[in-house]
Amino acid sequence: MTDEVRAAARRMYTAFNDRDYGAVEEIFTADFYSHPLAATGPESVARAWQRFHEAFPEVQMVVEDLIVEADRVAVRTSVRGVPGGQSPTMLEIFRVDNGRVAELWGLSSLRRDA
């Protein structure tokens, strides 16, 4: 199971970096829930990714650490391609169900000024 969980996380970051919004249907469960966005479904992920890419056209997520335990994966990423001196960091935990991301929790040091 750990390989399946690891692969799901890797697929998600690859799709994000490739701007492959259509891949969300294959990566996330139909009832996927994002705690940070308080949003449900793969389409909510595609919309969030599109907004993020519009705000930061050069953005790339670089996986620094990936730890798998049972059906969960914890990932620390550096966010490259955003203005500022130091790359922001994101910490995310995913629950994977049948090879797809079913639930997400996350924290980010990325500043989102209004």
Name the least confident of 8-17, 64-73, 105-114.
Answer: 105-114
CATH number, domain of 63, equals 3.10.450.50
Q: Would you place residue 92 in the very low, low, confident or very high pLDDT band (cuts 50, 70, 90)?
A: very high
Per the model's pLDDT, the better-predicted residue between 96 and 86 turns out to be 96
Residue range of the domain that includes 42: 2-108
Query: In the sheet where 72-80 sits, what is the strand order?
Result: 39-40, 28-34, 100-108, 89-97, 72-80, 60-69
Q: Tell me, yes or no, whether 57 lies in a domain.
A: yes
Q: Tell me, yes or no, whether 77 lies in a domain.
A: yes
Question: What are the tens digits of pLDDT across the range 29-84?
Answer: 999 999 999 999 999 999 999 999 999 999 999 999 999 999 999 999 999 998 87
**Count of the separate structural domains present in the chain:** 1
Full-model pTM: 0.92
Beta-bridge mates of residue 108: 90
Q: Tell me, yes or no, whether 114 lies in a domain.
A: no
